[in-house]
Structure 1
Amino acid sequence: MRSVARAGTLPPPATPEAVVAAEEVIGFPLPHLLRRLYLEVANGGFGPDEGVLGVSGGAAQGNFADIAELYQDGPDPSGRIPAGLVLIYDWGCTIWSLVDFRDPAGAMWCSHEGECWPQGVNLAEWLTGTLARTLTVETLLQSQPTS
């Protein structure tokens, strides 16, 4: 399991036009850190395992090409995921990490089986935790509120 991308395996940084196009589809600006990572480091692919999704032209995950493609039909047809929460990382088994684009710090959320809840960390803390393996799919599911 890859935790940090090997040298030379990340896609090139996103173009400013791709970032603006994603923001237009989503209707919110990218959180500051995510914008810098896309524009200065790589267009996705960084982070845990296969890495986070990029914007157009960047790292895909499975059948998902980019964050705007996932968002363009609305954040969630069931209405359970609030507008502005953007799917960014697929843990598998219908478990997703989402970034809150309404928050400049990029508060992180989790979605599983139609439920969505805040993680209590921002994007920087999420990246640090996933790379250090202190934040795992198991810890995400343990934090799910009980109904």
Structure 2
Amino acid sequence: MAHSHSYELVHVDSYADTLVIDMSVGPDSITVMTDMDDLVQRVAIRAASDSEDLPAPVSKAQIAEAEAQLGFALHPLLARLYREVADGGFGPDYRLLPLLGPGSSVAGEYLSRREASVGVEHPEWPEGVVPILTWGCAMYAGVDCLSEGGQVLLFEPNPYSGGSWDQCWFLDSASLAAWLETWLAGTGWFEEDAFERDDLIEPQPWDQAAIRLSSGA
């Protein structure tokens, strides 16, 4: 049955069950949130099937603690993964890092890399990009929490020969949601059979790298 009202989500507390709806505008935002709910659920199912001993999800207080340490908010979808799926231990290859320490963690890796990038001629790590997993060989996947979609970046320092680090940054996916879909579908460049496929899409040089590194943002 068709309904005469249209709805738009105007506020969602990502860490609680709070939903405020404006009944006077279009349905696009609700569609987006419904899609995100479905994606998070599918990630949770895959995570549980891949590991029998997933860490427990983090608390709202731990999200707040991490954001206080970072100095900015986590991308909403990334926060949902840690709140609703697990505190790391899922995802492609070496799997997502835990959010907080004492060992290697999202917050810890970010802070150490940013500290090494402040006040130097050639900063290595841009503000707002949190490392979420290591690919090995000093390579990292990072989520740009300052971008609307949470673009996923690849940091590949092995070819570095001096000068600006922008040559080491690549755009893996335009959004965290799309990156997760690629992982769920088994079509990422990081899959074992990736280079046997004709439709493989490899990370491309990140065109914002130079300005983000030089501006500190």
Whether contact under 8 Å (1:99, 1:123) holds in the other structure is yes
8 Å CA contact retained: 2:139, 2:156: yes
Distance 1:106 1:133 in 2: 20
Q: Does 1:95 align with 2:139?
A: yes
Deviation at 1:124, TM superposition (A): 1.2
Aligned residue number for residue 72 of structure 1: 111
Corresponding letter in the other structure for 2:98: G
Q: 1:89 to 1:7 in 2, by over 3 A?
A: closer
Instruction: Find out whether 1:9 has 2:63 as its counterpart.
Output: no
Q: Report the residue type matching 2:189 in the other structure.
A: T
1:133 CA drift (Å): 2.7
Residue 118 of structure 2 is aligned to residue 118 of structure 1 = no
Q: TM-score, normalised by structure 2?
A: 0.55
> Which one has more relative contact order, counting CA pairs under 8 Å at least 6 apart?
1
Residue 95 of structure 1: how far off its partner (Å): 1.7
Structure 1 unaligned spans of 5+: none
Q: Structure 2: 5+ residue runs without aligned partners?
A: 1-45, 158-164, 207-217
Change (3 A) 1:45 1:104: farther
SS for the counterpart of 2:174 is strand
Mapped pair 1:82 → 2:126: yes
Helix, strand or coil: the match of 2:178? helix
How much is the aligned-residue C-alpha RMSD, in angstroms? 2.5
Aligned residue pair count: 137
Q: Name the larger-Rg structure.
A: 2
Match of 2:183 among 123, 126, 130: 130
Asked if 1:28 is matched to 2:72, the reply is yes
**Greater helix content:** 2
Q: Relative to structure 2, which stretch is displaced further, 110-119 or 27-36?
A: 110-119
Contact 1:32 1:104 in 2 (8 A): no
Amino acid at match of 1:143: Q
Are 1:37 and 2:81 counterparts?
Answer: yes
1:142 & 1:7 partners in 2: Cα distance? 27
Q: Sequence identity, in percent? A: 32
Aligned partners of 1:30 and 1:104 also within 8 Å = no
User: 66-75 or 131-140, which moves further after superposition?
Assistant: 131-140
